[in-house]
Structure 1
C-alpha cells in the first residue's frame, strides 16, 4: 500500500533557482509580447478575441522543456493549426455539443500524430474553438497561427539570449567512438519505434544520456589502472625521412595501424596512420603528411585520461612519453577496451 501511494509523490527536481527564473521570465515575456503584438495587429486590446488560452500551456512547455520534441517550432505551430482545423470542422459538421467537443480533441490528436506535430496544448485549441462557439475559418490565421508563430519567434530569441539552445534538431549524432559502445543511431531509432511512445525527450538527449552512463561505467572500470599498465611497449617507429611506401609495408607486415615518427632523440614529432599512406604518393616522406597534432600522456597518468581522448573525434592512438618527452609506449583504442573488458 505504501508503494502505491509513493507513486503519486513527484521526484525531487534538480532545476536551480537561476533556471527557474529564466523559465518564468521566458513565459512572462513570451505571452506579454505576443499579446501586445497581436493587439496592435487587431487594433484593440480585448484579450478574448486575439489571444488563445491554450497558448499559456505552449509557453509553459517551450520555456520549461525546450529540448522536448513537442516543444519544437513545427509541433507548436503545426499542432495548433491542425487542432484548429479539427475544431472548426466539428463545429460546422456537428455543432456545439459534447460529441463535437470530444471528436474535435480526438481528431486533433490523430492529425498531430499523423503529421509529426504532437503538441499537448493543441488539444486545448480544438476544445477552445468548440466551447467558444467559434465558426469563422479566419480564426486559423488569426489568432491561431499568429499566436503560435510569435511565441516561437520569441522563444528562439529568449533562449538565445539566456544561452540555451533552441530550436533543437531532432536528429542523432554519429556513434560513440569507443569500441565498447553497444549501439549505433539505427539501433536507437529502432528501439524508440518499438517502444511506440511519444517520449517527451529528444533522441539526441536519449543518446547523450546513454553515452554519459557508459562513460561513467568506463571510468569506474578503469579504477586505478594507469596508462603505463595498458600501453604497448614493443613499438615500430620511423624517422621523418622514411618514405610512405616503406612505412606502409611496415604497418601491413606487423598488422598495425599507426607509426610514431621520432626525431634523433626518440621524441615523437608526429604520427603516421595507415589510412594516411593509402591516399598519398608513396615516394613522399613521412614528415610531409604525418599528423603533427597528436595526444600524449605519461605512464603514471590514470587510464581515464585516455577515455576522454579516444571517446570522440578522430583520435585512435595516444602516445605515452616520459618526463623528457621521449616515447615510452602507445595506447590504441583496442588496448584501452581490452583493459576495461578484463577490469569488468
Structure 2
C-alpha cells in the first residue's frame, strides 16, 4: 500500500473535528508525509473538513451573520453605513458567499470592506470575486499585502505549490497594529498576531444585542501547519517569537463571543444547534476561548520540544 493511500485511510478513521488539532499528535511518519506533500494536505483537509460545501447562512448575534461554508467561516457584519465581510473562503467560494448574503436579505453591492485574518487560499480565495461584484475596499495588514497581491505565490511555505494559489487582488488600505476600520457606528480593531503567516490579524469588535454590549473576537495566527519549522532551520526569521508573542496577546483578550475562520475550531455545529432554542446566547463562550488559546499554547510548546528532540512529546 503506497504512502498516499495509507494517509487517506488514516484520515477516514478520525473525526472531522480533530483533523487539524490532532496534527501535533500524529505519528512521525504521517506528519512527515503531510509535510512533504502540501497539496495532499490541502486536498485532505478541504474534503474532510468540508471547506467547499455550501452551508445555510444564519444570524450569529445582532449584526453578525455567518455566510461561510460547512468548514470555513465567513462573516457578514451589518452596519448603518453598509456591510463588512470578513473572510471569503476557498477559490470558487465567492458565488456561494454572494448567494448566502442575498438569502439573508442583504445586497452584496452594499459591502464596503473585505477583511481577512491572513492571506491563505482557504480564507481569501473569494476576495477578487467579491471585490469585483461589490466594489468594496480590501484592507489588510502591511506584512500580508505582498502575499495577497501575489495570489499566494510569495508564501514562505506554500509559495511554490500551485494548489495553494488564488486570484491575486490589490489591497486598497494597509493596516498596522491597532488600526480601526470604522463603518458607520461599527469599529473593527485590527491586532497584529503573526505566526501562521507573517501578517496574521486578529479582529475585535463590540456589538449591542438586547441592550447588552458583547465583545467579539476573531482570533488568528496560532495554527502550526505540517512542515512548519520554529527553531531548527525556521520557516522564516522570527517565526518562533511571532507565535509566542501572538499567543501571549491572545491570552489577554476577554471575548464574550469568539468566531473563527475554521468552523471546527469553535464548535460551530453544536452552537448552531443550541442557537435554535437559546438564540444568540448559544454563541457566548468566554471559557471556550480560554480553553482554545491555552490548547494552542500547549501545542506550540510541544512542537518546540519535538523539534529539539524531546522524545516525550
TM-score bucket of the superposed structures, by smaller chain: under 0.3
Query: Which protein is bigger by CA-based radius of gyration?
Result: 1
Q: Which has the higher strand share?
A: 2
Q: What is the TM-score when the length of structure 1 is the normalising length?
A: 0.20
Q: Which has the higher helix share?
A: 1
